[in-house]
Homo-oligomer: A and B are copies of this chain.
């Protein structure tokens, strides 16, 4: 039986760790929050008193942290860097969404230490984490990917190999930028239709069956009442927060800058989500951007 050290037991990490236990792994879990640790214990994780305790002797280390600076500190620059703790040959799977550059440079440092570090950001939200249906978008060598796959399959449904180190972060940034664009675009098409007297259900159906078809129309309609069980029909509670979309768009813009890739549509979407956030809506689901229009 493989031992997994799991660092970061938040809304996403907690249920992911629980799914690993269910799949038969021995999971040593750590988080700074006592509550999170208690929940991990309830899910039959072995509770560790520190990140390094969780990582020690683990075959696989998984991290699920808010941002790049936390990941860098955990493995490289912190007081007890896990790179000094992890055993030779350990596989580190970082599921955080961070800068592609940072993922690449941490991976390069890992190789010097005889450790494997791969980027595997997720999509699918809290619901997907609980149901074990997340998507993982992996940046790794072919061999590393094959090694990580069974572990990831215990937590998710679609395991994509995007390319070499950093490619997982790049693909996620591209996808989420596109998501921001099509959500904002769908909001404004629906708003224009409604302002001209159309029924949003009818218009949504027409566009879904035509060339305007996209993920938002399929499973995440931003107009309250068009679909059940989506944030728009629940006052934009739950779902994917504007603040998180804003963070992800920031990563996309950094990628755009560092590679000189023009992103006029992504920038326009970012401007709208930023205005919406400035009006005090950072904690709402991102489909609430339709309120900016009306």
Chain A at the B interface: mostly helix, strand, loop or mixed? helix
CB atoms of A162 and B210 under 8 A apart: no
Q: How many copies does the complex hold?
A: 4
- Binary contact track A271-294/B, C-beta < 8 Å → 1, others 0: 110110110000000000000111
Considering the complex, which residues of chain A in the window 141-190 have a beta carbon less than 8 Å from any beta carbon of chain B?
158, 160-164, 166-167, 170-171, 173-179, 181-182, 184-186, 188-190
**What residues on B are CB-neighbors of A214 within 8 Å?**
178, 182, 213-215
CA distance A205 to B257 in the complex (A): 25
Residues of chain B within 8 A (CB-CB) of A167 are 196-198
- Partner of A160 from the list B206, B246, B272 (CB cut-off 8 Å) is B206
B211–A193 touching, CB < 8 Å? no
A293/B268 contact (C-beta < 8 A), A171-B206, A176-B211, A182-B181 known: no
**Quick one: closest B residue to A278, CB to CB?**
B262
Binds B, one of A24-32, A44-52, A248-256: A248-256
Q: Report chain B residues within 8 Å CB of A252.
A: 192
- Complex CA gap A278/B256 in Å reads 12
Known: A178-B212, A265-B181, A275-B292. Contact between A170 and B198, CB under 8 A? yes
Judge whether B171 and A209 touch: CB under 8 Å.
Answer: no
Q: In the complex the two chains form, is A188's CB within 8 Å of B259's CB?
A: no
Report the Cα distance A196→B264, complex, angstroms.
17
Q: Give the docked Cα–Cα distance between A170 and B210 (Å).
A: 14
A202 touches B162 (CB 8 A): yes
Is residue A33 contacting chain B, with contact meaning CB distance below 8 A? no
**Cβ < 8 Å to B, chain A residues 192-239:** 192-193, 195-199, 202-203, 205-207, 209-215, 218, 220
**A: which residues have CB within 8 A of B?**
100, 123, 135, 137, 158, 160-164, 166-167, 170-171, 173-179, 181-182, 184-186, 188-193, 195-199, 202-203, 205-207, 209-215, 218, 220, 246, 250, 252-257, 259-272, 274-275, 277-278, 292-294
